[in-house]
Amino acid sequence: MATIADIAQAAGVSKSTVSRSFTRPDSVNAETRERILAVAASLGYTPAPAKAEATGTIALFIPDIANPYYPPLVKAVQAACRRQSISLLIVDGEDDPEADAEELERIIGRVDGALVFAPRLGAGRLRALDAVSPVVLINHLTDGLPSVVLSAPEGARQAVEHLAALGHTSIAYLPGREDNYSSQVRIAAAEEAADHLGVTLRLLTHAEPSYAAGVRGADLVLAEPVTAVIAHNDLMAFGCMNRLADRGVNVGKDMSVIGFDNNWLASASRPALTTVTTPYERGGAVALRMLTERIGDPDRPASTVHLSGDLVVRASTGPAPVRD
């Protein structure tokens, strides 16, 4: 069976242009659209039928279902949907903005609306999706679209305050990708708190929010004159802690480590990880309420709701070591 990629290659256009030719034909040049339709017909491609009426189904798009951050959010949204007798379609992305946009464009016309957790997707693509079916963003801001932000700026401030209270005066920060909205929010809050407390915050190399990035980041941390590190998420923190242990560093005594998200592994790691909680349950319920309101009233003004988590102190942080 022919795919959108096959049509794009044969017609000499992008995959997103092919997708928009079927989902939003008015957004594509008439001549280009006719060429795409002709190629599609010759290849025997049949697009999904447009949504003619309410389906009772919404979509939840997440970048990587294998990341421990996302399952609690999925469960929270699923529970909120169940209470309202709404069916949930979960769409797993590829952590690739172009591929993710194509997948969203493929399914957006088949559902009544979508909750979209795609912090790297551009504003134009997000507005195009919203033109087909209402969209509510999670952990991302785009003018004109409603958002629920779970980026924990208050938690980032608490993390810096906690370390400062323990006597740490120089702290490393392992950030996520530079274009990740959550990373930007957390860094800004941490820098503001550090400046207020007279603490040095050393921002290290931006990286994907993964365990492997945390392992690499640990060596960067040890190359700096710091006694503590804040990682973008728990996965990076775990990688950092294990690499520090491999290099003979006693986490919690020689070096303090803090993560974000408080996933289920945080309390099971050794030492148990000090981390910032994410308000999954509240976030899922609020996001669904905002989406159902927009489905009922597409002209409803967009709003942004910020929900923050708190620091959970465990054994991975302790008093700053005395250095000779």
> What is the structure's pLDDT at 2?
72
The 10s digit of each residue's pLDDT in 286-313 is 999 999 999 988 878 899 998 988 999 9
| Residue 290 placed within a domain | yes
* pLDDT over threshold 90, residue 204: yes
Q: Return the CATH number at 224.
A: 3.40.50.2300
Q: Return the CATH number at 17.
A: 1.10.260
| Residue 299 placed within a domain | yes
Same domain, 249 and 295: no
Distance (Å, whole) CA 196 – CA 154? 14
Same domain, 105 and 83: yes
Same domain, 146 and 284: yes
| Residue 286 placed within a domain | yes
Cis peptide before 271 (omega within 30 of 0): yes
Same domain, 19 and 82: no
* pLDDT over threshold 60, residue 50: no
The 10s digit of each residue's pLDDT in 52-109 is 568 899 999 998 888 888 899 999 999 999 999 999 999 998 878 888 888 898 899 8
Same domain, 138 and 171: no
| Residue 315 placed within a domain | no
The 10s digit of each residue's pLDDT in 222-247 is 999 999 999 999 999 999 999 999 99
pLDDT band of 45, cuts 50, 70, 90 = confident
Q: How many domains, the chain? A: 3
Same domain, 91 and 130: yes
The per-residue pLDDT of the chain, averaged, comes to: 91
The model carries a pTM of: 0.80
> What is the structure's pLDDT at 224?
97
> What is the structure's pLDDT at 51?
55
Same domain, 89 and 230: no
> What is the structure's pLDDT at 47?
67
Please, are residues 157 and 252 in contact by the beta-carbon 8 Å criterion? no
| Residue 254 placed within a domain | yes
Over range 245-271, report the average pLDDT.
96
Distance (Å, whole) CA 287 – CA 136? 7
Amino acid at 136: V
Same domain, 284 and 146: yes
SS (H, E, C) 207-249: CCCCHHHHHHHHHHHHCCCCCEEEECCHHHHHHHHHHHHHCCC
* pLDDT over threshold 70, residue 281: yes
Domain around 240:
153-278
Same domain, 177 and 132: no
| Residue 79 placed within a domain | yes
Same domain, 175 and 103: no
| Residue 50 placed within a domain | no
Same domain, 164 and 205: yes
| Residue 270 placed within a domain | yes
Residue matched to tokens 């785009």:
142
Same domain, 27 and 170: no
